[in-house]
């Protein structure tokens, strides 16, 4: 679930938001939450077919959480009424599941999370329903790849700001029509709460951010658009849309840093397959 890019409202330490650093045991529990979440997203993505409603996807996702004995961290969050966000076409983030029927060619970002033994997970995927417009497929592919470049930067970098630099550099290097990187919504720390310090920007700035060190867990979630990056919130006070009506995309994983390396908490293989081409070998949490 994306955060507004305003500074996190956390207890301040020496003028900076206080970051929660996890023990290996706590991160292993977060991985268990991530595995449940991955299965739930698998089910929701598989169910995203023409004629299905976004509420149907929410039901499928919720059933996996219930079977695993996990708790949704989206449901009731500041009053949010569902277990996933379903953002279709020009909807950027925080789309509320309901009676909207998916049509052939729709692009939908499914964002969800859960809690296991008090520890949180958060992840999002984009799927194109039925037959894909090649430009929508390119949008999703570039967004997903940008996320993995950001995760690789977490493994190789020294500061959290290196993540946004890597995402921006990758997106800017892709040939073809330029894609916009949203700046209003960013990634975040995660752990005993879903949204924590630090903010994780998806674009290049001069701000280095905090040092990357063991115990840091981040939700890395670039959001790209085919048009302008201006957004607006609908009357439901949740759903964010592009003001020009152009299509949007989101991919997200939760990732842990430990003494031996990184591990993608919401990926069954820790991110090994996707990170290999980027020269990163994730290491299971000791």
Q: Is 207 flagged in the annotation as binding?
A: no
CA–CA separation, 17 and 24 (whole Å): 22
What is the distance in angstroms between the CA of the first residue and the CA of the last residue of the chain? Answer: 28
Q: Is 122 flagged in the annotation as binding?
A: yes
Q: Is the pLDDT of residue 81 over 60?
A: yes
Per residue in 25-38, pLDDT (tens digit) is 999 999 999 999 99
Q: To which H or E segment does residue 55 belong? A: helix 54-68
Q: Is the pLDDT of residue 10 over 80?
A: no
Query: If DSSP codes are grouped into helix, strand and coil, which group holds residue 286?
Result: coil
> What average pLDDT does range 232-252 have in this prediction?
98
Q: Is the pLDDT of residue 233 over 90?
A: yes
Per residue in 37-55, pLDDT (tens digit) is 999 999 999 999 999 999 9
pLDDT value at position 17? 73
Which CATH fold would you assign to the domain 18-278?
Creatine Amidinohydrolase (3.90.230)
Closest by CA to 58, choosing from 32, 96, 89, is 96
CA–CA separation, 249 and 88 (whole Å): 9
Q: To which H or E segment does residue 83 belong? A: none
Beta bridge partners of 236: none
CA–CA separation, 183 and 233 (whole Å): 15
Q: Is 269 flagged in the annotation as binding?
A: no
E-assigned strand segments in the chain: 3-4, 12-13, 16-17, 84-88, 91-93, 107-116, 119-128, 180-181, 185-189, 196-200, 217-220, 223-225, 231-233, 240-242, 248-250, 253-258, 261-264
Could you tell me the residue ranges of all domains in the chain? 18-278
CA–CA separation, 134 and 234 (whole Å): 28
For residue 215, the 8-state DSSP code is T
pLDDT band at 5 (very low <50, low <70, confident <90, very high): very low
CA–CA separation, 161 and 211 (whole Å): 9
Q: Is the pLDDT of residue 11 over 50?
A: no
Q: Is 221 flagged in the annotation as binding?
A: yes
Alpha-carbon dihedral 49, 53, 54, 58, rounded to 10 degrees: -90
Per residue in 119-162, pLDDT (tens digit) is 999 999 999 999 999 999 999 999 999 999 999 999 999 999 99
For the chain, what percent of residues have pLDDT higher than 70? 95
Q: Is 195 flagged in the annotation as binding?
A: yes
Closest by CA to 254, choosing from 186, 190, 197, 180, is 190
Closest by CA to 224, choosing from 247, 241, 240, is 247
Full-model pTM: 0.95
Sign of CA dihedral 38, 145, 283, 211: negative
For the chain, what percent of residues have pLDDT higher than 90? 94
């Amino acid at each position: 679930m994306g955060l507004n890019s305003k500074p996190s409202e956390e207890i301040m330490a020496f003028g900076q938001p206080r970051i929660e650093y996890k023990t290996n045991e706590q991160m292993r529990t977060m991985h268990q939450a991530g595995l449940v979440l991955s299965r739930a997203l698998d089910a929701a993505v598989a169910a995203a077919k023409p004629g299905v409603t976004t509420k149907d996807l929410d039901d499928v996702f919720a059933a996996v959480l219930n079977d695993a004995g996990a708790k949704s961290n989206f449901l009731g969050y500041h009053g949010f009424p569902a277990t996933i966000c379903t953002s279709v076409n020009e909807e950027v983030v925080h789309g509320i599941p309901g009676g909207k029927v998916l049509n052939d060619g729709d692009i939908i970002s499914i964002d969800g999370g859960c809690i296991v033994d008090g520890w949180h997970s958060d992840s999002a995927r984009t799927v194109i329903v039925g037959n894909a417009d090649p430009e929508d497929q390119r949008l999703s592919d570039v967004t997903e790849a940008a996320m993995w470049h950001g995760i690789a930067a977490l493994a190789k970098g020294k500061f959290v700001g290196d993540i946004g630099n890597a995402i921006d550099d990758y997106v800017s290097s892709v040939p073809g029509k330029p894609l916009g990187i949203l700046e209003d919504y960013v990634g975040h720390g995660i752990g005993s709460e879903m949204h924590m310090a630090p903010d994780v920007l998806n674009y290049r700035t001069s701000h280095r951010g905090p040092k990357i060190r063991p115990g840091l867990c981040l939700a890395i979630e670039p959001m790209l658009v085919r048009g302008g990056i201006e957004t607006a919130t609908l009357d439901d006070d949740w759903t964010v849309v592009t003001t020009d009506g152009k299509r949007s995309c989101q991919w997200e994983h939760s990732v842990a840093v430990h003494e031996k390396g990184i591990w993608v908490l919401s990926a069954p293989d820790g991110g090994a397959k996707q990170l290999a081409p980027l020269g990163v070998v994730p290491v299971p949490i000791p």
